[in-house]
Chain A
Amino acid sequence: DVKVTQSSRYLVKRTGEKVFLECVQDMDHENMFWYRQDPGLGLRLIYFSYDVKMKEKGDIPEGYSVSREKKERFSLILESASTNQTSMYLCASSLVRYEQYFGPGTRLTVT
């Protein structure tokens, strides 16, 4: 069974703080993704990675950065959190051209 884990289910941070969201997958998948999900807007892609140390911008990369130093781990970084980054953050992984498997999500609140 594919397992994608995320470091926190719930997180509360203050405006201006640096926030790290960690994602780990145990199935040796090449691809990893970060999405955010908001009511009425659906899933929107922030960044993705096809391989270690590679990253590609998705549809809404502004205010975010990522890091992939190891194949199994993909981190999302909010350099200076803002209230409009309050959202559900979902990490996913996949083999090349196959379905994506999602982690449980991190509900981030920025106050």
Chain B
Amino acid sequence: GQNIDQPTEMTATEGAIVQINCTYQTSGFNGLFWYQQHAGEAPTFLSYNVLDGLEEKGRFSSFLSRSKGYSYLLLKELQMKDSASYLCAVRDLGNTPLVFGKGTRLSVIA
């Protein structure tokens, strides 16, 4: 089966750094994706990891450890507009659809 776990909610302060964790158990592995979703809007693609290590893209970074079935999304210099849900998703094999976690709702406070 497939299982993706991430915390339900997190709160962080404007200007700070926050790390959102994701653990997964899938029958295979062909990439891990992070999406951002503002309330009432569609998810938008943030990052993709298929090899172990850190991928950096501006204020956002994503890390993957395949042996541990673990990823995190790191958001630096938090801004109020970063308040959103962050979805972790895994593709287990080949061209199969992404399987999504239930998302982490991040609230950025002043």
Q: Which residues of A contact B (CB under 8 A)?
A: 31, 33, 40-43, 45, 48, 50, 58, 90, 96-97, 99-105
In the complex, what residue of chain B is closest to A45 when comparing beta carbons?
A: B97
Interface of B is mostly: loop
Convert B26-42 into 0s and 1s, putting 1 for each residue whose CB lies closer than 8 angstroms to a CB of A. Answer: 00001101000000011
A-B contact count (CB 8 A): 42
Most chain B CB inside 10 Å of its own CB: which residue of A43, A48, A90, A102: A43
In contact, B44 and A102 (Cβ under 8 angstroms): yes
User: B48: which A residues are within 8 A, CB to CB?
Assistant: 99
In contact, A97 and B44 (Cβ under 8 angstroms): no
In contact, B33 and A99 (Cβ under 8 angstroms): yes
Does any Cβ of A come within 8 Å of B70's Cβ?
no
In contact, A104 and B42 (Cβ under 8 angstroms): yes
| Chain B residues within 8 Å of chain A by Cβ, number | 20
- Give B75-107 interface residues, CB cut-off 8 Å to A: 87, 91, 94-95, 97-103
In the complex, what residue of chain B is closest to A105 when comparing beta carbons?
A: B42
Most chain A CB inside 10 Å of its own CB: which residue of B87, B95, B101, B102: B95
Interface of A is mostly: loop
In contact, B42 and A50 (Cβ under 8 angstroms): no
Convert B9-47 into 0s and 1s, putting 1 for each residue whose CB lies closer than 8 angstroms to a CB of A. Answer: 000000000000000000000110100000001111100
In the complex, what residue of chain B is closest to A102 when comparing beta carbons?
A: B42
User: B42: which A residues are within 8 A, CB to CB?
Assistant: 90, 102-105
Q: A33-B97, A40-B102, A99-B33 are in contact. List 20 more A-B contacts (CB 8 A).
A: A31-B95, A42-B87, A42-B100, A42-B102, A42-B103, A43-B43, A43-B87, A45-B99, A58-B97, A96-B95, A97-B31, A97-B91, A97-B94, A99-B48, A100-B33, A100-B97, A101-B45, A102-B44, A104-B41, A104-B42
